Structure 1
Amino acid sequence: MKLTTMIKKMCPSNSELSIPARNCSRLVILGSSKVGKTAIVSRFLTGRFEDAYTPTVEDFHRKFYAIRGELYQLDILDTSGHHPQPPPHRLSCSAPAGDVFILVFSLDNRESFEEAQRLKQQILDTKSCLRNKPKGRADVPLVLCGNKGDRDLHREVEPAEVRQLLGDGPPRCAYFEVSAKKNSSLDPMFRALFAMAGLPGEMSPGLHRRLSAQHCEALHQALRGGKPLRAGGPGGALGIVAPFARRPSVHSDLLCVREKVGGQAKDRERCVIS
């Protein structure tokens, strides 16, 4: 039997895990190219940092958690910093189906900060339309992330500018200056983001034990009350990155959006969701 087939058989799908919809969320990472989005995702999933730069088209990851007797699923969409489409259509697929957002910019690149401002406004406008709220006033769990804080270079974005931007944002919005290279302030950033979204803090990398694909059955054991496993986080929280995760289709995303908004958005046909 091929190794890939063996792992797929060993690791249960989300349907086999019977994860309730309320425990399924999508994290979307947005920002200009070369600001460190993929490096942040890599730190979150594996704890590693890669020096080599490879442009991202779009990467999709899925992580399962067993936390305090419940299973959770977190989908992570690492988007491209290159936008071939006009600005109004950049978030056509990522924003509506996203539940929590990280907007990344580089502290030594003003253009990337200005792009983060535009993306923030587009997210709020799109979510407001879907939820039938005044334009730009949707309450969306969102973190502005100033990356490359380890660089000894000329700083082009000052904290006061970011605070001013946050002043016009939703209540659930925060700012962190981080270094993906040095793994600095990333864990507090994720903890704050998950807290704003009402998700368990144990989803943060430092608060659960990472399991490899060969130990997927541990998620079932955690729920069945089987032999306890030594866990690195409080309450024996476990997490595992699903191998071979496939991004849901745009059609699936739209169905998900429809379920989330229900009948709230009277003008939903005018929203940029396709």
Structure 2
Amino acid sequence: MDLITVQQIRVPATRDEVTFAPGERPLGGGTWLFSEPQEGLTGLVDLTALGWEPLTVTDDLLTVAATCTIAELTRLPAHDGWAAHPLIALCADSLLASWKIWNVATVGGNVALALPAGAMTSLMSTLDATAVIWTADGGERRMPVTEFVTDVRVTRLAPGEVLRALEVRTAALRSRTAFRRIALSPLGRSGTLVTGRRGADGETVITITAGTPRPVQLRFDEVPSERALADAMSRIEEWYDDPHGSPDWRRAVSTLFAEEIRQELGGAA
């Protein structure tokens, strides 16, 4: 879609040039930005011009630049012991987008958009990723992705701030994972997406997205009992309500998926 109110696109070469005048927004892949009218938008600041390395892997950390495309992330080779690696493709596929979109859409853009069915939000929440944020005063701050997204289309980004990267501990990538997703139609938006992760120390994390307005995590020191998990699921109060699923349905299928995941990760049936 043509954004007829845009008067200029700025191409920053340094961090000092990453500033935002009234009416300006950051531009990554732009797959959502160009999909519908953007009221009040007068300018774009193209973050892709900064040349951030898409993916950086060290012994302890995987750093995913906010401008890394979904295609680039799915091509990341599995390293020794990365049991969670298949989760990348599973979450990417849940976008139901063509490879053309994958080649443009960015990981950071999907997270910062903060839609309940944001597949990269699901992935990064499951892996306990940390959001790295450039602050307007030239500094930097960090927070878990599960705290970064606070509601539908709402994040903890303050005015003038930019999501710079997402950091994933390789210990999380060595965890066992499980994945469940459902939609009301074969090619529909996710009604709920539930994942599980069990670390080497036995810690078990169940993450719910799409069915809730923001990522919800249930954490246990070990694989929980059926009763303990059911009790924890019953205490989730906010379930999303839109044409892709009612709150009661989302609660029911999420609870069913969580129990299936609990058993898959080693819980007694």
What TM-score bracket applies, with the shorter chain setting the length? Answer: under 0.3
What's the TM-score once normalised by structure 2's chain length? 0.27
Higher normalized contact order (CA 8 Å, seq sep 6+, divided by chain length): 1
Normalising by structure 1, we get a TM-score of 0.26
